[in-house]
Structure 1
């Protein structure tokens, strides 16, 4: 029932036509209200309550993100919302979900679980040397994932819903340079060409149901003729002779699956590639891929590598991970995250104090009081 997402679009269109009440409010206070609504989306089983809070959350977020002073505001307290920033600081993207189990029998192995995804792109438009304005673009999920979605160009009103996550070894959403064949260009003569657009590589997860999940890679860019249109997909993924517009991997709910950057051994050298678990069925049944729900890792790895010369992403099978080097980098990353967490913690305390919120020290219980 993706109708929920369509209703949200109509709601946001009406919000855009009214005054932005949040513009006069302290942004710290707005964040606290957003946090309260976001917590309901995860904390209640009542779908109607989730929908109501999601409307309130979405409209308030939509209004707030139009404020230029919100662009560098971290919104750290929105723990259930994925907030990613482009490496070149051109935009931020917010994604979140509502999940609902229609089967009230919690012990049901195959209950009917639905996931509804929502998103907004906060775009930064330069209007001078030291000034900018923000454009907020809602992402409207498709009613269902269509067959052959790997070969479709989508946009913000026909969005492959999901939660985007930050890839390893990057400070933000990776910015890429691609060359690809444009079938609408009769002058291309079948040759790859580079368009003067900025492309970004997105890593996403979609929960589908309680049998299967998908992870995917998608390409995002902005329509040069419409600043409020986001385009998803570019035929740059070469698994075979014919390229795909995005890469999708369907796997079992009960199996782990990794899709992320990692270093692989390329002879005596190491190369950073997008590595993923090779998927197989337990008994290798002869079934169509769309009928398989038990796909899981078989212990080997495949990879996708960016070919800088040709400007496309190419498939490599059965790659060897640079395990020791990856482990060393992961340890460094964990230590850096610890230090970052402490800095963010102190920054959060300072922000709350600036908003006039006094933190109370934890009270010791009687048992801890020398007993």
Structure 2
């Protein structure tokens, strides 16, 4: 009798373990299938010459991504094969942010994204709605996920202290003539995302926005060894162009923001010889990738 009593719980444990393993295997297979679909749709979003086809692919991409993220334990799946979107985990693994762009016919861009919280349970997802055209003063605006200053992010920096927040570095294709890059600030209020915060020295800006000619590329990177965000100093080609940011470009000098007591102090004229790995070789500017993929698009460096 005692042997039977011991055997029954053991059988239940083994059965539960097998069922759990089967569920995990099934979820992994499902996520892999979703990933294959996202890869195909992403290629159409970037490569197709027809704007309507790109937009239709994007619509399906959004629906497929949401379905994939509803799969149990989806937060643990990296979607490594999906190159059309940037997928970044926060340093503390609290969330991940997914962002991507679709090029419009006129050479401008619209951005899409979502923030997935690491709940360990049911999906908690915040869609990011690109509100850029309606933000009259984007540098001085605190917004939520429904009024997002769209960008495709490539770096997350966690800042802890009295005010804990995250800094996002992002690329923002803008018009046929100019490009933007962004230093964004993300925080959470009542577990909901909030964008923008006045943490940049004595400036009242909630985010930092750079605009420059589309013919140039701009360095914007984080140097963790020095708690420093480094960027190209942008200048006009001549005095007459001072009021035209579309003409600005790097002038071979560098400025930055140094993290001191939870705030970013502006530092000019940085000596790049003292900054490790001055240019990021591992960051692929999505604009440049789009140029490579869509070879018929001209003047898109």
* TM-score bucket of the superposed structures, by smaller chain: 0.7 to 0.9
The reply to whether residue 218 of structure 1 matches residue 190 of structure 2 is: no
TM-fit CA distance, 1:271:
3.2
Any conservation in 2 of the 1:99–1:116 contact (CA below 8 Å)? Answer: yes
Per-residue CA deviations over 1:246-305 (Å, capped at 9, x if unaligned) read 111111111221011248xxxxxx8341111111111133643xx331101111111101
TM-fit CA distance, 1:159:
0.5
Residues 48, 302 of structure 1: CA spacing in aligned structure 2 closer, same or farther, 3 A cutoff? same
Match of 1:280 in 2: 235
137, 158, 179: which one aligns with 2:126 = 137
Per-residue CA deviations over 1:131-189 (Å, capped at 9, x if unaligned) read 544311110001506332111101100001111013xxxxxx221136xxxxxxxxxxx
Give TM-score, length-normalised by structure 2: 0.78
35, 52, 68: which one aligns with 2:56 = 52
109, 127, 152: which one aligns with 1:163 = 152
CA distance in 1, matches of 2:275, 2:171: 28
Secondary structure of the 2:226 match is strand
The reply to whether residue 118 of structure 1 matches residue 112 of structure 2 is: yes
Mapping of 1:21-40 within 5 angstroms?
A: 26-40=30-44
Any conservation in 1 of the 2:166–2:186 contact (CA below 8 Å)? Answer: yes
Residues 235, 325 of structure 1: CA spacing in aligned structure 2 closer, same or farther, 3 A cutoff? closer
Match of 1:199 in 2: 165
198, 201, 216: which one aligns with 1:235 = 198
CA distance in 2, matches of 1:203, 1:24: 31
TM-fit CA distance, 1:324:
7.8
Match of 1:354 in 2: none
Q: Which is richer in helix?
A: 2
Mapping of 1:341-360 within 5 angstroms?
A: none
Any conservation in 1 of the 2:132–2:149 contact (CA below 8 Å)? Answer: no
248, 255, 270: which one aligns with 1:295 = 248
Any conservation in 1 of the 2:91–2:158 contact (CA below 8 Å)? Answer: yes
Residues 275, 143 of structure 1: CA spacing in aligned structure 2 closer, same or farther, 3 A cutoff? closer
Residues 271, 53 of structure 1: CA spacing in aligned structure 2 closer, same or farther, 3 A cutoff? closer
Mapping of 1:50-129 within 5 angstroms?
A: 50-101=54-105, 112-125=106-119
CA distance in 2, matches of 1:164, 1:158: 17
CA distance in 1, matches of 2:241, 2:29: 60
The reply to whether residue 209 of structure 1 matches residue 164 of structure 2 is: no
CA distance in 1, matches of 2:187, 2:276: 33
Match of 1:362 in 2: none
Match of 1:314 in 2: 265
Tell me the C-alpha RMSD between the 2 structures.
2.6
The reply to whether residue 251 of structure 1 matches residue 251 of structure 2 is: no
Any conservation in 2 of the 1:23–1:63 contact (CA below 8 Å)? Answer: no
Q: Structure 2: state its 5+ residue gaps.
A: 1-25, 284-301
Per-residue CA deviations over 1:7-35 (Å, capped at 9, x if unaligned) read xxxxxxxxxxxxxxx97972211111121
